[in-house]
Amino acid sequence: MSKLNQLNYEVMISEEEIGQILDTVAAKINQDYADVDNLLLVGLLKGSVVVMSDLARRLTGDVHFDFMTASSYHGGTESSGDVKIVMDLANSIRGRHVMLVEDIIDTGRTLSKVRELLLSREPASLKICTFLDKPSRRVVDVPVDYVGREIPDEFVIGYGLDYAESYRQLPYIAKVNPA
């Protein structure tokens, strides 16, 4: 039996809705960055890979990619509050227009720490884009410039989001139902 069949979940945001959300977010980014060359998208691994890839294909300007790994979940379903930078950027961001791309913002702890670190590196600008936002769970206030969709306090999987490193490949967002 596959792991997919062992977890009780229901679709919250369909594949079609994901496309519509990304189209809307990309249109706003394209408008805001119309005069910017070489926007640097910084993805927080691993969850942001799917979102960032699909978003980048909708952007009209030249974009570059870099990645970081930061974690506060450590394999569970709740943020531990202990944020660790596991992998840092490969290149300098000094003087660059940077957009931090997230799959989901929950407590804000991880994002706040990463944002603080990136701002200390003197980018020309730093904006944050998230596909999903759970404002009801926010512990640390973080300014978010682009939000795909707000969702209630549910544990979700799919479209880059995982449970113990599984389910990222699902083409939709699903709410996990307690057993």
pLDDT tens column, 98-108 = 999 999 999 89
Instruction: Give domain status of residue 2, yes or no.
Output: no
User: How many domains are contained in the chain?
Assistant: 1
Instruction: Give domain status of residue 150, yes or no.
Output: yes
Instruction: Give domain status of residue 173, yes or no.
Output: no
Which amino acid does the sequence have at 54? Answer: D
Question: Is residue 144 over pLDDT 90?
Answer: yes
- Show the domain range for 125: 14-29+36-155
Instruction: Give domain status of residue 172, yes or no.
Output: no
- Which domain CATH number covers 148? 3.40.50.2020
Q: What average pLDDT does range 131-139 have in this prediction?
A: 94
Q: What are phi and psi of 135, to 5 degrees?
A: -65, -25
> Active-site residue numbers?
106
pLDDT tens column, 80-130 = 567 788 899 999 999 999 999 999 999 898 899 999 999 999 999 999 999
d(CA 174, CA 82): 26
Q: What average pLDDT does range 32-47 have in this prediction?
A: 94
Instruction: Give domain status of residue 8, yes or no.
Output: no
E strand or H helix at 112, and its extent?
Answer: helix 109-119
What pLDDT, on the 0 to 100 scale, is given for residue 110?
87
Instruction: Give domain status of residue 50, yes or no.
Output: yes
Contact (CB, 8 A) for 144 and 150 = no
Question: Is residue 145 over pLDDT 70?
Answer: yes
